[in-house]
Chain A
Amino acid sequence: MSQKTPLYEKHCQAGGKMVDFAGWDMPINYGSQIEEHHQVRQDAGMFDVSHMTVLDLNGSSVKPFLQYLLANDVAKLKTAGKALYSCMLNAQGGVIDDLIVYYMTDDWFRMVVNAGTRDKDIAWITKQAEPFNVAVQVRDDVAMIAVQGPNARHKAQAALPPDVAAQAAELKKFVGAAVGDWFVARTGYTGEDGFEIMVPEAQAESFWDALIEAGVKPCGLGARDTLRLEAGMNLYGTDMDESISPLIAGLGWTIAWEPAERNFIGRAPIEAEKNAGVKYRWAGILLTGKGVLRNHTKVVVEGVGEGEVTSGTFSPTLKQAIGLARVPANAGDSCSVEIRGKLLSAKIVKPVFVRDGQSCID
């Protein structure tokens, strides 16, 4: 039996094609995934992301706890509401999940983790929190809507309650604010500006309607995937998992190595891996001719070795196939990809294809 978000009826009313996603009944699209993709790049679209898990962590030792739990360092968060992206590693240095954590007060942090990893994350975090006396509260009482696109902030402000809108208008990038039972953050997963908004469950449907009224169009998980891929953002379970270290998955930038004495879970194995030299690097792949890159498409770098596309698709913005891939560390800028037994020529590029509506490819 699939779980349903508080917005399930709204999706059905809007003609959403519902599919199972990590045990949730979610809209893959409302007609055309490509149109929804362009809607976000060019104007404003919204995604129901209520299936994601919101956790509140409370306690006087919450900061040292998170410095131990996460590979990135929450000590970087100096102002209230500031967000940090981090991996949560296991003792072997594999990625249990990637997440966003917000610094609310000295004894309160808010965390958003993936839907597919919910149970193992809660179990892991609760277990690690025990010696720190940190309380872990699952916030299933909120729905979450991501409003994304160049006009997203403007349109969302028109739909928010006035006191929430006033605070939202002041938010800098990667900062959130709690206003009563609401929470608004200037974050996202599309490469566009916008908000991720937590709304009390009882007000979720009326807020969704207000966003439609303000000209924001519903977009499904299909468009969310092509948007994040164009933006060069990893997807947990596809681009990395517990068997893949963050160094191979292109997440080295999220690991805070300094201060050297900070002992976070997984530090020793990934530090050893780093010192030994990482054999793969994370890259973008651009198919030169026609075709579509898919997850697990083989990448061949002549005279060097092989790699693999970890997530591939057709980019609606570039009108070309793109992928995120693990390639041999010393690969140059050209490669071949194997599609249905044929080797097709492709380019190795920086893993960011589109940002703020603009192509990042020369």
Chain B
Amino acid sequence: MSEIPSELRYTKSHEWLRQEDDGTVTVGVTDHAQEALGDLVFVELPEVGSTFAAEDACCVVESVKAASDVYMPITGEVVLINDRLEEEPEIINSSPYDDGWLFSIKPENMDDLGELMDSSTYKQELDE
């Protein structure tokens, strides 16, 4: 059974979001997603300063098996990326919710976050 922290928000495409104290939102892929992808070997992160609309493909994670798009969960500007992933993409497998975060964004509208699934809804989604 995959881990689903209760304080995060989730998307149907298996991204998680964490609201930070400084008004930014950190984004990553869920434990379920990393498990399904298998060993990750390459991540193509978005550029800092770029803006994306919700559901735009903004990032690519590649495992030995396949390449998968990561979608921007809510409209916003990328303010920080996880540089560590360039050399150690495997930390997404070992720590999807902490060391393996992908990027953080400044949302256009923080209320959008509330529209996404909470942990119990995401869990139901996975169980279906």
Contact = CB atoms under 8 A, between A and B. Distances in A.
Given A33-B38, A34-B39, A290 B64 contact: no
Interface in A278-302: 290-292, 294
Given A222-B65, A290-B86, A292-B67, A314 B42 contact: yes
B67 A33 contact: no
Interface in B26-56: 38-39, 41-42, 44
The CB with the most chain A CB atoms within 10 A, among B38, B41, B86, is that of B41
A222 B41 CA distance: 14
Interface string B93-128: 100000000000000000000000000000000000
Given A33-B64, A290-B86, A314 B41 contact: yes
Contacts of A321: 42
A291 B38 CA distance: 16
A226 interface: yes
Nearest to A29: B38
A252 interface: no
Contact of A313 (B44, B64, B86): B64
Contact of A340 (B38, B60, B64, B66): B60
A116 interface: no
A206 interface: no
A127 to B, nearest CB: 37
Interface residues of A, number: 16
A290 B38 contact: no
B28 to A, nearest CB: 20
Contacts of B67: 292, 294
B58 to A, nearest CB: 13
Interface residues of B, number: 13
A34 B64 contact: yes
A32 B64 CA distance: 10
Interface string A301-329: 00000000000011010000100000000
A291 B42 contact: yes
A348 to B, nearest CB: 21
Contacts of B65: 28, 33, 222
Contacts of A292: 41-42, 62, 67
A75 B86 CA distance: 53
Of A28, A33, A226, chain B has the most CB atoms within 10 Å of the CB of A33
A33 B65 CA distance: 9
A32 B42 contact: no
A222 B38 contact: yes
A316 B38 CA distance: 13
B52 to A, nearest CB: 16
A72 B123 CA distance: 56
A33 B44 CA distance: 21
B120 to A, nearest CB: 26
Nearest to B66: A294
Contacts of B93: 32
B60 A33 contact: no
A22 B33 CA distance: 25
A32 B60 contact: no
Nearest to A35: B39
A130 B104 CA distance: 68
A195 to B, nearest CB: 26
A333 B59 CA distance: 31
B66 to A, nearest CB: 8
30 contacts: A28-B38, A29-B38, A32-B38, A32-B39, A32-B93, A33-B38, A33-B64, A33-B65, A34-B39, A34-B41, A34-B64, A222-B38, A222-B64, A222-B65, A226-B64, A290-B86, A291-B42, A291-B44, A292-B41, A292-B62, A292-B67, A294-B66, A294-B67, A313-B64, A314-B41, A314-B42, A314-B62, A314-B64, A316-B64, A340-B44
Q: Which 9 A-B pairs have the closest CB atoms?
A: A314-B41, A34-B39, A292-B62, A292-B42, A33-B39, A33-B64, A314-B64, A32-B39, A33-B38
